[in-house]
């Protein structure tokens, strides 16, 4: 297990880092503004995805809508109490838009051991850089639907636990193997 250092936890630094983060040779990335526009456009078109949404009381539901060389788009549904736990998206930057309901995002700022909470309501958008650690969930009494985009497409997601010592890495999940 690895405790993250303060620089990794600083979401302000991470939000600026995506454009300066070294891309792999030949890798094309969308910037945060492009990711924000993408999730906003998809979320604004419920006719194209509304029939796909499922609400599963046993676990958070998700479905990939698009996979391209430089990005991917996912649709997620959230029943009350469902969440992701703390995680990052590896080398991928991302954005999400709330299409229905509202979700809660928790982050841990540099030098802190407690999570900061932010509510994102319908129409709201959040974007973030590579290696950004957060926890997203539905803390409301109503179902929620969100649209997520990542660039480049996800290859790993690292899981973390918030302890008295800070965030501790607990697991790594791999695309096409674990989800």
Q: Establish if 129 belongs to a structural domain.
A: yes
pTM: 0.85
Q: What is the pLDDT of residue 11?
A: 34
Tell me which of 149 and 15 has the higher pLDDT. Answer: 149
Tell me which of 105 and 26 has the higher pLDDT. Answer: 105
CB atoms under 10 Å from CB of 135, counted, come to: 18
Question: How confident is the model over 65-89, as pLDDT tens digits?
Answer: 999 999 999 999 999 999 999 999 9
**pLDDT confidence tier of residue 113, bands split at 50, 70 and 90:** confident
Q: What is the pLDDT of residue 25?
A: 61
- Please give the tally of structural domains in the chain: 1
Q: Establish if 179 belongs to a structural domain.
A: no
Q: Establish if 74 belongs to a structural domain.
A: yes
Regarding beta strands 116-121 and 125-128, do their DSSP bridges make them parallel or antiparallel, or are they unpaired? unpaired
Q: Establish if 1 belongs to a structural domain.
A: no
> Which range marks the domain in which residue 137 is found?
6-19+28-174
CATH label of the domain that carries residue 140: 2.60.120.10
Q: Establish if 66 belongs to a structural domain.
A: yes
CA 117 to chain centre: 15
């Amino acid at each position: 297990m690895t405790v993250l250092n303060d620089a990794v936890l600083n979401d302000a630094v991470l939000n600026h880092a995506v454009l300066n983060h070294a891309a792999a040779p030949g890798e094309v990335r969308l910037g945060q503004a492009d990711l924000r526009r993408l999730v906003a456009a998809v979320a604004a078109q419920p006719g194209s995805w509304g029939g796909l949404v499922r609400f599963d009381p046993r676990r958070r539901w998700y479905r990939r809508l698009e996979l391209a060389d430089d990005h991917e788009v996912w649709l997620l549904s959230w029943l009350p109490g469902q969440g992701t736990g703390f995680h990052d998206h590896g080398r991928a930057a991302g954005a999400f838009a709330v299409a229905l309901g509202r979700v809660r995002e928790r982050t841990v700022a540099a030098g802190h051991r407690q999570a900061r909470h932010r509510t994102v309501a319908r129409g709201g958008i959040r974007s973030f850089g590579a290696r950004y650690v957060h926890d997203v969930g539905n803390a409301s009494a109503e179902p929620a639907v969100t649209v997520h985009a990542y660039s480049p497409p996800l290859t790993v997601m690292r899981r973390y636990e918030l302890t008295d010592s800070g965030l501790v890495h607990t697991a790594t999940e791999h695309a096409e193997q674990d989800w």
